[in-house]
A and B are shown apart, each in its own frame.
Chain A
Amino acid sequence: MSRHRLPFATPLALISAIVAIAGIAAAWGLTGGGLVSPGGLNRESDGEHHGGVANHGELDCLACHTGFGAGVMSDRCLACHDDIRDDIAQKAPLHGKLPEVSACLRCHTEHRGSDAEITQISGGFPHEATGFALTAHGKKQDGGRFRCGDCHGDDVLHFAKDRCAGCHKDDPDEFLTHHTAAWGDACLACHDGVDRFGDRFDHGKTTFALDGKHAEARCEACHVRVRGLAAFALAPSACIGCHRDDDVHRGDNGHDCGRCHTTEAWKPVRRPGEGGAGEGSGSSGDGEPGDGASDGETGDGEPIDAMPRPDAMPRPDAMPRPDARAPIGEPALPDDHVFPVTHGGGGRIACATCHPRTTRSYTCYGCHEHTPANIESIHSRRNIDDTSDCAGCHPTGGRARRR
């Protein structure tokens, strides 16, 4: 009879099973979650409390693990990390810009030890979502592959703008020196990692082909105070837009400059009827004293004063971020200006960005993506009613100092 009994049905086998179960229960009771934990939790802290704890090591298993049918872990993450939740809600960098941002485990891990790094980003990170694609940064100048630390140092959340110059210093003809002088050192304000200006850029594909002397012009001669790709398209296309000060006719000959001038040179001058107006390219010439003139209007009949001037271009501080960086030539700061004008890491901010009407007052809404309604919502959750003095709590423009 016993020959046909299954082995686990013997008394000893059953006792063994009971002992094993009792052992598990006893060990669980003595160690808590330690019995089933695959490794220690991170115990480092940034000095702030999230969800009532200073670090993950103070959490119970079920603070993060949902078990069966009780949601997903990412919801538990965001329940404590309200700063990340706010970034996502406002689509603010970094997390608010990432696709599938609700899948925390794509980039973060745990149970690697008390001092282990919990951000472990492998290949496939959607870097373009941060505003800078790595399309043009596949390999370094020495042929090696880029690593995160090459541009970010030890902190992937931050980018030091001088990192660009560190690699691009060898560009020919002191290009970077001139480029920085003309456009500033906030590289990311204009470059998104995909644009490939310089020799590869064909201006002829725009509505304004560069020929004649225009082909020798520096970009900033026409694209004045431009920051950001969209602002480049706002450059004036009419001659007077850039050559108003060169108009020796003082407008007497109108603005159909191409009737007498070409882009090759101011002289020789062609008389009307010799051809040239509207010929060749999108460029046209300007007048010269004594040349054929009309009546203070352009060829299209547009008054001179209605034409755009380079200095009438939209100020960078009137553009959305990151175009709000100051051009070179902003006045020196007063000695009592304590707020960092390089706040944000994109170079010096234009005065009018924060002081649109008078320097006796300031606003933060002219630059940041947040709105008064969002700020009110965020601060009310922290029981902060007075949000009128941003710099009072954010003296560096970053995280609020402790009250």
Chain B
Amino acid sequence: MAIAIAVFAVLPRTAPGAAVGHALGIAGFALMIATEVAYSLRKRARTGAWGPMQTWLRVHIFTGIVGPALVLLHTNWRFSGLAGATAIAVMVVVVSGFVGRYLYTALPRTTAGEEMSQAAIAALLGELDTQLSQPGLAPRVSRQLTAARDRLKLRVVRIPRHRRLLALWHTVHVPLGVGMFVLGFAHVAVALYYGAGLR
């Protein structure tokens, strides 16, 4: 994100078809493709040999922000025609991604990013209760443990609703992303075709 902000601040506005503008668009779109493909493949991998999901999600979110930011720079703030529709679709998918990120983290998860089972949640609550029942607990620590236990209980209560919302979000986000990539590839194809023989 810092890189994107630095790019915004330092670079002068450049035409999308100029060398810098093209580089921004290519880099941004490549980041978006790489993160989507790699993250999807990792999510569907049967083993955890490729690293924890939490790390992949962080990378997915990072590139999912920086990539669109570069694409936004590539537009030079002009949103007309197919290219403009593509840029707007990118922004819609990014906003949708922020919503998904909230719903995703609303569900209690393990450090590896997997959703916690009922038994694991019950064990965690029991451990919190055990710690709170220990004598001589400092008041500040006691308050923190109590707050954590209450937040977890609230999240547990909301698990069914968040699970439904996450499923619904997933149903919307993925087709939005697919549509965005269709527009993006169409934009690239048009740019290559009409840019051929420019001399």
Contacts and interface: CB of A to CB of B under 8 A. Distances in A.
B196 A67 contact: yes
A105 interface: yes
Interface in B133-169: none
Nearest to B183: A20
A320 interface: no
A19 B178 CA distance: 10
Interface string A228-244: 00000000000000000
B98 to A, nearest CB: 18
Contact of B40 (A6, A14, A27): A6
A294 interface: no
B40 A68 contact: no
B5 interface: no
Contacts of B179: 16-17, 19-20
A7 B174 contact: yes
Interface bin, chain A: 35 or more
A17 B199 contact: no
Interface bin, chain B: 20 to 34
A21 B16 CA distance: 23
A102 B197 CA distance: 12
Contacts of B78: 38
A15 interface: yes
Contacts of A3: 44
Contacts of A73: 197-199
Contact of B197 (A16, A20, A27, A72): A72
Given A36-B81, A38-B83, A16 B178 contact: yes
B186 interface: yes
B168 to A, nearest CB: 11
Nearest to A25: B186
Contacts of A104: 199
B182 A21 contact: yes
B82 A27 contact: yes
B197 A66 contact: yes
B58 interface: no
B194 interface: yes
A16 B40 contact: no
B50 interface: no
A297 to B, nearest CB: 66
A10 interface: yes
B139 to A, nearest CB: 46
A342 interface: no
Contacts of B171: 12
Interface in A183-200: none
B199 A103 contact: yes
A39 to B, nearest CB: 8
Contacts of A69: 196
B17 interface: yes
Residue in A3, A7, A17 with the greatest tally of chain B CB atoms within 10 Å = A7
Interface string B21-59: 000000000000000000011001010000000000000
Contact of B199 (A6, A13, A24, A74): A74
A8 interface: yes
A292 B190 CA distance: 91
A71 interface: yes
A34 interface: yes
A91 interface: no
B193 A67 contact: yes
A67 B197 contact: yes
Interface string A23-51: 01001000100111111000000000000
A5 interface: yes
B83 A68 contact: no
Contact of A4 (B44, B81, B174, B190): B44
A70 interface: yes
A105 B44 contact: no
A61 interface: yes
Contacts of B193: 65, 67-68
Contacts of B174: 7-8, 10, 12-13
Contacts of B181: 8
What 7 A-B pairs are tightest by C-beta distance, nearest first?
Answer: A16-B175, A66-B197, A20-B182, A20-B179, A72-B199, A13-B178, A16-B179
25 contacts: A5-B44, A7-B40, A7-B177, A7-B178, A13-B178, A15-B175, A16-B178, A17-B179, A20-B182, A21-B186, A36-B81, A36-B83, A37-B81, A38-B16, A65-B194, A65-B196, A67-B193, A69-B196, A72-B199, A73-B197, A73-B198, A73-B199, A102-B199, A103-B199, A105-B199
